[in-house]
C-alpha cells in the first residue's frame, strides 16, 4: 500500500474541494480547509482568518474562521495561487496583521504590477491595513520604488503618512482600495 505524506493528502483534499465546489457556491470560511483559508472572503463579504488552536497535550490545530472584517465589493473569494506568489503572501498566515508592510521585500512584491494591478483582494486587504497604520498604500509603493529599502517606519516618521487623512471620531469609515482607474494611474514599476 502506498505511503502518503500529510502534505500530499492536504494537496489532494484541496484539489477535490476546489473541483467539487461550483463557482457559484457560497464560501463559508468554517468549511474551508486550512490551506485555502487565508485571503479568502465569505459569501457575507467577511474575511476568512486562519486561527491557531492549542489542543490537549500541546497539539496545535489550524481552523478557518469568519472574521468581522468586511470587504467592499468582493464576496465568495478564494485567492489564486498566482496572486499568493505574485504578492509574496503566505497561505499559512495566521490572523491578519500589517507587520509584513515593514519588510521592504514584501512591499516590493505587493507594489509590483503583477500584484497591484491583478490581485484586488490582497491589495484591498493591505490598503486597509496600511490605512490603519496611517499610511496611504500608493505612497508606500511610490516610496518603495524610489528607495526599496525605505521602510514603512521611515515613511511614518518622515510625515509621508500624512497624505492619507485621519478619520475623525465622529465618522469613521473604512478606507477604500484603489479603483482600477487609480491603479492604472500608478507609475509603472522600474
Residue 125 inside a domain? The answer is: yes
Is 63 domain-assigned? no
The pLDDT score that the predictor gives to residue 146 is: 81
Structural domain contains residue 13: no
Instruction: Please tell me the predicted confidence (pLDDT) of residue 102.
Output: 87
pLDDT of residue 117: 97
Q: What is the pLDDT of residue 15?
A: 44
Range of the domain at 181: 81-89+96-166+173-185
Residue 150 domain flag: yes
- The pLDDT score that the predictor gives to residue 112 is 96
User: Is 11 part of a structural domain of the chain?
Assistant: no
Specify the pLDDT at position 12: 47
Task: Classify the C-alpha dihedral 77-51-108-167 as positive or negative.
Answer: positive
126's CB contacts (< 8 A; 6+ apart) are 98, 101, 110, 137
pLDDT value at position 21?
44
DSSP one-letter string for 22-78? -TTSPP-GGGS-HHHHTT-B-TTSEEEEEEEEE-GGG-EEEEEEEEEEE-SS--SB-
Do 175 and 127 meet the contact criterion of CB atoms below 8 Å apart?
yes
**Residue 22: inside a domain, yes or no?**
no
Q: What are the φ and ψ backbone dihedral angles of 97, each rounded to 5 degrees?
A: -145, 150
Q: How many domains does the chain have?
A: 1
Q: How far apart, in whole angstroms, are the C-alpha atoms of residue 48 and residue 37?
A: 6
- Is residue 178, in this structure, part of any structural domain at all? yes
Going residue by residue through the chain (190 aa), what tens digit of pLDDT does each one get?
A: 455 555 554 444 454 444 444 344 799 999 999 999 999 999 999 999 999 999 888 889 999 999 999 999 999 999 999 999 999 999 998 988 999 998 889 999 999 999 999 999 999 999 999 999 999 999 999 988 887 665 555 555 554 444 444 443 333 334 445 544 444 444 444 3
Is position 121 within any domain?
yes
Predicted structure pTM score: 0.68
For position 40, what pLDDT does the model report?
Answer: 97
Amino acid at each position: 500500500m502506498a505511503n502518503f505524506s500529510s502534505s500530499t493528502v492536504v494537496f489532494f483534499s484541496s484539489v477535490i474541494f476546489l473541483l467539487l465546489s461550483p463557482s457559484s457556491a457560497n464560501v463559508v470560511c468554517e468549511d474551508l480547509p486550512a490551506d485555502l483559508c487565508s485571503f479568502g472572503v465569505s459569501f457575507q463579504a467577511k474575511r476568512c482568518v486562519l486561527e491557531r488552536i492549542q489542543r490537549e497535550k500541546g497539539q496545535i490545530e489550524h481552523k478557518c474562521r469568519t472574521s468581522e472584517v468586511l470587504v467592499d465589493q468582493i464576496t465568495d473569494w478564494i485567492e489564486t495561487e498566482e496572486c499568493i506568489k505574485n504578492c509574496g503572501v503566505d497561505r499559512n498566515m495566521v490572523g491578519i496583521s500589517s507587520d509584513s508592510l515593514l519588510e521592504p521585500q514584501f512591499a516590493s512584491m505587493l507594489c509590483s504590477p503583477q500584484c497591484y494591478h491583478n490581485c484586488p483582494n490582497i491589495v484591498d486587504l493591505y490598503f486597509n491595513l496600511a490605512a490603519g497604520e496611517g499610511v496611504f498604500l500608493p505612497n508606500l509603493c511610490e516610496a518603495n520604488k524610489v528607495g526599496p529599502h525605505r521602510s514603512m517606519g521611515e515613511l511614518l516618521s518622515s510625515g509621508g503618512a500624512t497624505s492619507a487623512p485621519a478619520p475623525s471620531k465622529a465618522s469613521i469609515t473604512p478606507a477604500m482600495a484603489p479603483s482600477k482607474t487609480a491603479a492604472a494611474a500608478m507609475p509603472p514599476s522600474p
